Structure formats: C-alpha cells, structure tokens
Amino acid sequence: MDENPTSKSISDQKDIDSSYHFPTLFLVTKAAGWLLLSTLFSLVASIKMHSPTFLSNCPWVTYGVLVPASQNAFLYGFALQAGFAAMLWMTMRLGQVKLRGPGFLFLGTVLWNIALLVGILGLMGGGQSGYAFLSMPGFVYPMLFTAYVLIGGMTLLTFFKRQAREIYPSQWFIYASLYWFPWMLTAASYALFASEPARGVAQAVIHGWYASGMTTIVLGFVGIALLQYLVPKLTRRDLHNSNLSAFAFWVLLLFGGFTGLLQAQALPAWVGTLSSVCNAFVAFAWIVLTANLWKTLQGAGKQNSDPLAFNLVRLAALCGLLGALLNFLGSRPGTAETVQFTLYVQGVYWLQLFGFVGTLLLVAAYHFLPRVSDQESALSGPFGWKSIMMLHATGSILVGLVYVLGGWKQGKALADASRSFLEVQSAAMSFIRISTIGELLVFLAAAVLAVNMTRSLVAYLVGYIKCCCNCKNESAQ
C-alpha cells in the first residue's frame, strides 16, 4: 500500500526512515512518560473512589484534581504526541519523502511538553477551569497552539514535498485531523478564556462541541487513519472500497462535532435532540467503516504478517464501533436521563480513547519504531511490545465494559425511588473495584513502555555523542 519497490530502492527507504529516527524516539518517549503519569493519576483516583482515606491529607491528589489531570495528560501528552509521531510516519511512507524541518519539529515538541507541564501543575495547584478536556489554565492554550504550528507545519510541509502524488484514504483522515485541531483549540479557548468569555448556555455548547470534536474527529480520525493504514499493511491487500471510506469521512466530519450535548443537560430541548441525531449519523458511519474493514479482512487470517498486531487492530476497531454505538444509545431520549451522570459515560470514554485510539497508537509504534531505529529486536522479550500491548488492551477493555455495565445498573437504581442514594453507591462499588484492576494493568503497560523508551532514547543519545567524538578525533588526526 505505502511502498513501491520500483520507485524507491532499499537505501532510499532507509534514508527516509533514518531522517525520522530521533524525532520519533523523542516524541514517543515523551508520549510514554505522559501516559505513565496519566494512568498513575487515574489509578489513584479509582482507588480513592472505594478507599476515600487513601492519600486524603494531600490537596494536590483529591479525586476532583486527579481526574482532569489524568484526562489532560492522556489527551495532550500521550494521544496527540503519539498521534503526531504516527501521522508523520504515515506521511513519509505514503509520500515517499524524507522528514522536513526536523529542528523545528524538535523545538515544537519541547515547547509542547513545557506548556503541558505548566498546565498540569497549574491545574493541580488549583487553577483548573472546570471544562473537561480544557481543564488547564487559559494561558496554556496559546502556548500549545504555538508549539502545534511548528509540529503540524512540519507535517504539512513534508506532505507537500511528497514524491508519490497519490493520496490514500488514511491521508484524508490525517490532514482533516491536522486542520481541525488548531481551529477547535483556538475557537474554544478564545470563547471560554477570553477577557469577555461566552456566557450561560453558550459555555456548555462550546464545551460540548470541543469535547466531542476531540474524541470523534481529532483523535478519532487519527485512529481511523491508523486502521486504514495498518489493515492493508498487515493483510498485504488493498482497502476493499475507498468510496465507503470517503462516505464515512464526510459523515463524521459534518456530524462528529455535535455529539456531546445530551438530553438531560441544562440546554434547550432541541440541542439535545440535534446531538442525538448526530450520534445516529456517527454510529452509521462507523458501521460503514467496520463493514469496509471487514470486507478487507475476509480470508486474510492466514496471510497477515503479524498475528498479534493483526488481532489487536481488529480488537481496537471493535472498541471504536462499540463506543460509537454506546454513545448513540446513551444520547437517545429516555436513555440519556438514566446514564448521563453515571459510570456509563466514563466507560464509553475508556473504550473510545484507551481501547480504540490508545491501542492503535501502541500498535503503530510497535510497527514503525524498529524500522526507523534499525533495531528489529528493540523492546523484545517478556517485557517488550507484546506485553505492553496486551496489558494495555486488556486493561482498557476491562475498565470500559465494567464501567458501562455498572453505569447502566447505577442509572436504573437511581431512578428507583425505593432505593436510597447510599444503597445505589454501595452497589456500584463492586464495579469500581473491578475497574481498578483494569486500570492497574494499563498503568503497568505504561510503566514498561516508559522505561523501555527512555532506555532507547538514552542509548541513541550516547551512541550519537560517541559518533561525534570519534569524528572529531579522526579529523584532528
């Protein structure tokens, strides 16, 4: 799909991969560090839900601080940074072009991580805004936008310099995500954090638009692009029908940003109804995407080059489909009032972002890191990529499914006037305790990944310094 051996020699392909070596290691290492921090915050918050005295004397680690800190660390630290790495990789391979402006990319990555660190510290220090996915202090978002101009700009410059002019379906989703994110970030942050911000109902609408756009379009498109890149690569066959991908692309782009405004919110009734209709369109687009991938996968079980990656990609696709269907179910009149303020919403979040996007990003890194680093044995062994991916996928799906089931039962119990609130919460504790096991698995996967990526980055830097010293000694002689 992405390589034409008649147009590029093996040496040219290695030149393309080597141009991306250090930027990849740096981006993925930073992403792994933020994933570790995010899962640690989430694990502690989960423990505090059934053991409230745990770390109760520290105001920096209360439940209300840890949850938004975990969300922002995952979204901006892991998902977007690993997404940048994966999108750059696909751009270079599909376009048969070397990375452009690696210095600007490195500068943008450093600025991005500094801004995010300042934002997380400000959030945990009491400066959180109260908006999900935009919880950091308002001054952080112009810094993130500036860093993104450098990162996204180098990605687009690399795309425009491509030698292979054909554009594949996965690239539609890549560049829509690249254009959509800065627009959403600037529009939402200006409307909510300006000197005269939007007021009243407009705040809830803008916040819901940004949160659903991040989940369905920005990060959702990264996941879909990886699906449509990895499935043909692993099965060694073309995508079944690019027209079906085009149909799903436009449906998701048009309706995906308006799926986060539910019926029970303090908004005009037509807003919730419109959101429910948009959720129906998004679910239908996901059914189309899944059918297209299913047709591509038919009969490919014995032909795939990597059974574990192949099965994890299929599992991630099912998480994406299930998340879209559950979102639609939870937005329907009568159902939204039952599940909106329960564990159900958190379960859908885990399936969509950790189960779908997170798993695919790990599979993508497992696929391209050995190629750009020229180390086929990197992160192998009992604590290598296979353990990381299995732990992450198992834990994410366990948490998501347990929260969805527990949230449904919790909502039904809350609607029962004969049951007290304490009885309902006591019954939900069993689901929360099980979810803690899943969060522990995800944390262990993140810890192993962070340790291995740090070792790889240090080894690269040490080798680079030795190489520079040897070159200086030879020139001196």
Taken in order 202, 208, 213, 214, the sign of the CA dihedral is: positive
Instruction: Examine the pLDDT at 379 and tell me if it is beyond 60.
Output: no
Query: Tens digit of pLDDT for each residue in 418-433?
Result: 888 888 888 888 899 9
Q: Do residues 389 and 457 make contact, with C-beta atoms less than 8 angstroms apart?
A: no
CA 250 – CA 241 distance, rounded (Å): 15
* pLDDT given at position 140: 93
Instruction: Examine the pLDDT at 465 and tell me if it is beyond 80.
Output: no
Centre a 10 Å sphere on the Cβ of residue 376 and count the other Cβ atoms it contains. Answer: 8
Query: Tens digit of pLDDT for each residue in 25-52?
Result: 888 899 999 999 999 999 999 999 888 8
Mean pLDDT of the chain: 85
Instruction: Examine the pLDDT at 473 and tell me if it is beyond 90.
Output: no
> pTM to 2 decimals?
0.90
- Give first-to-last CA distance, the chain, whole Å: 48
Name which of 174, 152, 159 is nearest 108 in CA terms: 152
What mean pLDDT is predicted for residues 172-176? 92
* pLDDT given at position 31: 93
* pLDDT given at position 195: 80
Indicate the pLDDT class of residue 147, thresholds 50, 70 and 90. very high
Instruction: Examine the pLDDT at 89 and tell me if it is beyond 70.
Output: yes
Indicate the pLDDT class of residue 16, thresholds 50, 70 and 90. low
What mean pLDDT is predicted for residues 85-91? 89
Indicate the pLDDT class of residue 475, thresholds 50, 70 and 90. low
Indicate the pLDDT class of residue 241, thresholds 50, 70 and 90. confident
Name which of 433, 353, 464 is nearest 47 in CA terms: 433
Indicate the pLDDT class of residue 462, thresholds 50, 70 and 90. confident
Q: What is the DSSP letter of 164?
A: -
* 332 vs 356: which has the higher pLDDT: 356
Centre a 10 Å sphere on the Cβ of residue 294 and count the other Cβ atoms it contains. Answer: 12
Indicate the pLDDT class of residue 476, thresholds 50, 70 and 90. low
* 383 vs 163: which has the higher pLDDT: 163
* pLDDT given at position 245: 92
* 56 vs 318: which has the higher pLDDT: 318
* pLDDT given at position 5: 37
Determine whether 326 is exposed, middle or buried from the number of CB atoms within 10 Å of its CB (0-12, 13-18, 19+).
buried
Indicate the pLDDT class of residue 339, thresholds 50, 70 and 90. confident
- In order of 175, 275, 331, the CA distances from 407 in angstroms are 36, 21, 14
For 470, the token pair is: 């040897």
Name which of 354, 336, 374 is nearest 259 in CA terms: 336
* pLDDT given at position 308: 83
* pLDDT given at position 474: 63
* pLDDT given at position 12: 61
Indicate the pLDDT class of residue 196, thresholds 50, 70 and 90. confident
Per cent of the chain over pLDDT 70 is 89
